[in-house]
């Protein structure tokens, strides 16, 4: 029988919750039908969290998974080993929920590091409690860290996260840097009318300390399903907001599949409003509609002085990067999600608990990845488009 590339083959045990088998003869690794290969594994350690960010969780929290439903340390270590040794995983991101709330976090990292001495292992965290754990995380073998920080104003931080923990997060960021978990990257989701106009001062603060700040377009992954395209701050708006104080020029380093488009940052020379500089109203507010683009040509970046650092913009909605996506996700309960917006997820942990061999687990993972959607959980990009369906899971329950 001839095998047509791209046509999933029927399988005898196919049923609910099982991916169709990928075509025979498909290349090894976590390849999908659009020719992308996932080498970047993102593993959620828990669905629990101690913050309630409005763009992610509802105020009352979510019903947490039972301890039994969540992967144990041993199960995590085995799944990562299969990813690395059999499927070509080249980097690992630990995420959640909030990974720091997991009591056996240090043991997990130490075991992963012992199995994979060269593997880059990073973690995305909200930073609460990081001040006390940063040195131990480094000693256990964590390579580097990303901390979410949406505002430096206590009131705004508390409004966004629904918890008054700004000081603890700031202490965590500094401790991570001091412990050698750099480069420290900071993630800020901009929300219209809440922290958007704070973006230049947040960037100035990060540059002063040598942290790499990234601004993130809000995606429709909030448990409240309150996202609207109109309310989202776009990458174009972010660039405009920053251009009041800074001049951005493309970072010459290759993007290499990263979600963040990086820019070198220079402080804008006095009296040089660029073509993208916004005109602020009396309250210092700017919105897409208000952006005024004066006539004139921007001076070359070099004219503004030295590069102070870099900034990233993650434009998942308006400038998607799905065609170069290299990600595979495992949720806290051991489900394979080939895309953040997948409507189908496939069980790996259940199969593992049935006593499956490494090979059988690797094949399930490969089959699940073969049917990875082209973009945004669909066969085309379009977060918020008429045919887009928001996943039932929130970002915290997927593993951001």
Ligand X SMILES: Nc1nc2c(ncn2[C@@H]2O[C@H](COP(=O)(O)OP(=O)(O)OP(=O)(O)O)[C@@H](O)[C@H]2O)c(=O)[nH]1
Ligand Y SMILES: C[S@@+](CC[C@H](N)C(=O)[O-])C[C@H]1O[C@@H](n2cnc3c(N)ncnc32)[C@H](O)[C@@H]1O
Residue 52 binds to ligand SF4 (criterion: CB under 6 A): yes
Return the number of the residue (48 or 185) whose C-beta is nearest ligand X: 185
Interior angle at CA 145, CA 139 and CA 147, nearest 5: 135
Residue 148 binds to ligand Y (criterion: CB under 6 A): yes
Residue 161 binds to ligand Y (criterion: CB under 6 A): no
Residue 222 binds: one of ligand SF4, ligand Y, ligand X, none (C-beta under 5 to 8 A by kind): ligand Y
Residue 218 binds: one of ligand Y, ligand SF4, ligand X, none (C-beta under 5 to 8 A by kind): ligand Y
Within positions 53 to 112, which residues make up the interface with ligand SF4, using CB under 6 A?
53, 56-57, 96-98
C-alpha separations of 86 from 48, 94, 148, 332, 381 in Å:
30, 20, 32, 21, 31
Residue 258 binds to ligand X (criterion: CB under 6 A): yes
| Ligand-binding site membership of 162 (annotated) | no
56 burial (CB, 10 Å; 0-12 / 13-18 / 19+) is buried
**Dihedral sign (CA 220, 42, 101, 62):** positive
Among the listed ranges 17-25, 44-52, 59-67, 200-208, the one in contact with ligand SF4 (CB under 6 A) is: 44-52
- Could you count the other beta carbons within 10 Å of the beta carbon of residue 346? 21
Residue 396 binds to ligand Y (criterion: CB under 6 A): yes
267 burial (CB, 10 Å; 0-12 / 13-18 / 19+) is middle
Residue 56 binds to ligand Y (criterion: CB under 6 A): yes
DSSP 3-state percent helix, strand, coil across the chain (nearest 5):
30, 15, 55
Among the listed ranges 24-32, 242-250, 252-260, 358-366, the one in contact with ligand X (CB under 6 A) is: 252-260
Residue 381 binds to ligand X (criterion: CB under 6 A): no
Closest CA to 64 of 94, 109, 96, 104: 96
Name the one residue in this structure whose structure tokens are 């980097």.
91
DSSP 8-state secondary structure symbol assigned to residue 113: H
**Residue choice 86, 186, 190, 322 for contact with ligand SF4 (CB under 6 A):** 322
**Residue choice 26, 46, 54, 95 for contact with ligand Y (CB under 6 A):** 95
Name the one residue in this structure whose structure tokens are 């401790």.
175
Interface pattern 24-53 for ligand Y (x via CB under 6 A): -------------------------x----
Interface pattern 357-386 for ligand SF4 (x via CB under 6 A): ------------------xx----------
Judged by DSSP in three states, 158 sits in helix
Size of the site for ligand Y (CB under 6 A): 20
| Ligand-binding site membership of 56 (annotated) | yes
Return the number of the residue (351 or 383) whose C-beta is nearest ligand X: 383
351 backbone dihedrals φ, ψ, rounded to 5°: -65, -40
What whole-number distance in Å separates Cα of residue 194 and Cα of residue 205? Answer: 18
Residue 57 binds: one of ligand X, ligand SF4, ligand Y, none (C-beta under 5 to 8 A by kind): ligand SF4
Let me know: does 348 contact 364? Beta carbons within 8 Å: yes
Question: Contact positions toward ligand Y, by CB under 6 A?
Answer: 49, 55-56, 95-96, 98, 124-126, 148, 187, 189, 216, 218-219, 221-222, 395-396, 400
């Amino acid at each position: 029988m001839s095998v047509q590339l791209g046509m999933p083959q029927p399988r005898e045990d196919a049923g609910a919750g099982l991916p169709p088998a990928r075509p025979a003869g498909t290349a090894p690794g976590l390849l999908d039908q659009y020719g992308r290969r996932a080498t970047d594994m993102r593993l959620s350690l828990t669905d629990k969290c101690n913050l309630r960010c409005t763009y992610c969780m509802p105020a009352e929290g979510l019903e947490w998974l039972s301890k039994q439903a969540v992967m144990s340390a041993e199960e995590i270590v085995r799944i990562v080993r299969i990813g690395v040794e059999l499927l070509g995983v080249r980097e690992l991101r630990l995420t959640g929920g909030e990974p720091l709330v997991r009591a056996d976090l240090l043991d997990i990292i130490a075991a992963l590091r012992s199995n994979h001495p060269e593997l880059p292992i990073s973690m995305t965290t909200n930073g609460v409690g990081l001040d006390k754990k940063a040195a131990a995380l480094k000693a256990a073998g964590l390579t580097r860290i990303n901390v979410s920080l949406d505002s430096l104003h206590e009131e705004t931080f508390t409004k966004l996260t629904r918890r008054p923990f700004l000081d603890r997060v700031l202490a965590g960021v500094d401790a991570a840097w001091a412990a050698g978990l750099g480069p420290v990257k900071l993630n800020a989701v901009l929300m219209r009318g809440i922290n958007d106009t704070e973006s230049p001062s947040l960037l100035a603060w990060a540059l002063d300390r040598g942290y790499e700040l990234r601004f993130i377009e809000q995606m429709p992954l909030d448990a409240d399903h309150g996202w609207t395209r109109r309310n989202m701050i776009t990458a174009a708006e972010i660039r405009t907001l920053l251009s009041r104080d800074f001049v951005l020029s493309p970072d010459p380093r290759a993007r290499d599949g990263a979600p963040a488009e990086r820019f070198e940052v220079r402080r804008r020379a006095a009296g040089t409003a660029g073509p993208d500089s916004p005109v602020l109203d009396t309250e210092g507010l700017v919105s897409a509609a208000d952006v005024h683009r004066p006539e004139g040509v921007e001076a070359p970046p070099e004219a503004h002085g030295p590069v102070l650092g870099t900034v990233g913009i993650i434009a998942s909605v308006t400038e998607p990067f799905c065609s170069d996506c290299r990600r595979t996700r495992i949720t806290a309960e051991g489900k394979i999600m080939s895309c953040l917006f997948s409507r189908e997820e496939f069980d790996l942990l259940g199969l593992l608990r049935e006593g499956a061999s490494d090979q059988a687990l690797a094949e399930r993972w490969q089959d699940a990845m073969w049917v990875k959607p082209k973009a945004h959980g669909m066969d085309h990009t379009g977060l918020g488009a008429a045919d887009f369906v928001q996943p039932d899971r929130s970002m915290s329950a997927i593993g951001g």
